[in-house]
Structure 1
Amino acid sequence: MKQGFYWRCLFFLAGIIVLSLGIALTIKGQMLGVGSWDVLHIGLQKNLGLTVGTWSIILGLLILAIDSLFTKRLPKAGTYLDMFLTGIFIDIFLFVLPDAQSLLEQCIAFGLGIILLGFGCGMYMVANLGVGPRDTLMLLLVHRLGWSVNRARTTMEVGVAVVGFILGGPVGIGTVFMAFGLGPVVQWALKLNEKLFYRATGVESAVI
């Protein structure tokens, strides 16, 4: 029992770190545009100040409030932990990672960022200790509307990108690719991490 819980904690914390690194890398590749949520975060940063990670936390709190209204229950403690740790790690990685100078470096940073973002998302979700606010919203769409992970994630990505663009956030071809490409990556990562989790613990983790 304890061993299984330790594995859940490992998947959860490692997933958050990998996810945050992926987000930071996509921001470092901003010559191509940034991810949809970060278009919104950066747009808010330009207009109101604060860091990208701080806005990630603030919007996370808002999303959790909306989810609680619909589900009539409070999120798991892990959801709050995910929200705060992700915001903190995003700012840390943005500070320590060097800026990508050339177009090639920007492309590599952005592409690697998407893969790590999706893999980290799937990794911490299978731990079932509470998913982050944005994935809470994604799962709400999946369960309430019967949508696939792909459709729910893509709809969210497009919606927030539009709002972020209106606020002056950077939008480019990378933003479009991430809006439509991140959903399949997350869906693939979920299936892969469910297999890895089962091999490690012998317990199935049915997130969806």
Structure 2
Amino acid sequence: MRKKYKGQLVPRFMIFLLGLLVMTFGVVLIIIANIGPSSWDVLHIGLYYRFGLTIGTWSILVGVAIVILSAILLKSFPPIGTFLNMLLVGIFIDMFLLLPFLQTPESYIGKIVMFLCGLIINGYGMGLYISAQLGAGPRDSLMLAITSITNWKVGPVRTTLEIVAVLIGWQLGGPLFWGTIVYSVLIGVTASFTLPQCQKLTDFILSKWHSHKQSQQIIEEYNRGV
């Protein structure tokens, strides 16, 4: 059972930030592999092709629209972590895409290897940021909003949102290849392994942090008594 955390905001934010960095690096590897990005990135890239700006900027703008829709459906604002996720992921996408050494491999085998590495890295990054319990991403927030007001199951809702994003992105000229389908199938399987591992790691880090803080308090109280 996953622990519920209260306080410990500093270490949780550090884990959250690291998770977003790792997750976004995986996303960018998948984009650069050029055999099919995730369904939402089909949309972001399609918007970039059609209207300019940057892929990261469109990730943020789409996130803003989704957060507003989620807030209307739930009649409440998402937690601060959702806004940070929306903003930082877009910034990190553009940051990683500017790295000169990240290039599409020439061989198809190289592209597949980069894609699979991106998938695994993306899964571990997702596990890290979720384990910090500072709020889900905007797209997950929309999924939860729809399920909460309709009582529909999470699976069909998530699948429907993914299909809608792909179709809109494809109509805008976004890259839809077999990798998009593989990602949609394997990301859930990957997350089922990475999420428990990352949660154990986070539990360990936060327990050590708590013990360290307690030890400091005991030492300070002792010194004051002396």
Same fold (TM over 0.5): yes
- Structure 1 partner of 2:28: 24
Q: Residues 153 and 183 of structure 1 are in contact (CA less than 8 Å); yes or no, is this contact kept in structure 2?
A: no
Residue 53 (structure 2) aligned to one of 50, 61, 64: 50
Does the C-alpha gap of structure 1 residues 176 and 125 become closer, same or farther in structure 2, counting only changes over 3 Å? same
TM-score, normalising length from structure 1? Answer: 0.86
- Structure 1 partner of 2:143: 138
Percent identical residues? 38
Structure 1 residue identity aligned to 2:11:
W
Does the C-alpha gap of structure 1 residues 175 and 187 become closer, same or farther in structure 2, counting only changes over 3 Å? same
Q: Residues 73 and 146 of structure 2 are in contact (CA less than 8 Å); yes or no, is this contact kept in structure 1?
A: no
Residue 104 (structure 1) aligned to one of 91, 99, 109: 109
Residue 161 (structure 2) aligned to one of 132, 156, 162: 156
Q: Show structure 2 runs of 5+ residues with no match.
A: 209-226
Does the C-alpha gap of structure 1 residues 141 and 4 become closer, same or farther in structure 2, counting only changes over 3 Å? same
Task: Specify the structure having the higher radius of gyration (Cα).
Answer: 2
Deviation at 1:105? 1.7
Measured in 1, the distance between the counterparts of 2:115 and 2:88 equals 22
Q: Show structure 1 runs of 5+ residues with no match.
A: 204-208
- Structure 2 partner of 1:91: 94
- Name whichever of 55-64 and 124-133 sits farther off: 124-133
Residue 5 (structure 1) aligned to one of 6, 9, 30: 9
Deviation at 1:183? 2.4
Deviation at 1:112? 1.0
Residue 44 (structure 2) aligned to one of 41, 45, 53: 41
Does the C-alpha gap of structure 1 residues 93 and 2 become closer, same or farther in structure 2, counting only changes over 3 Å? same
Alignment: residue pair count: 201
- Structure 2 partner of 1:206: none
Q: Residues 154 and 182 of structure 1 are in contact (CA less than 8 Å); yes or no, is this contact kept in structure 2?
A: no
- Structure 1 partner of 2:170: 165
- Structure 2 partner of 1:114: 119
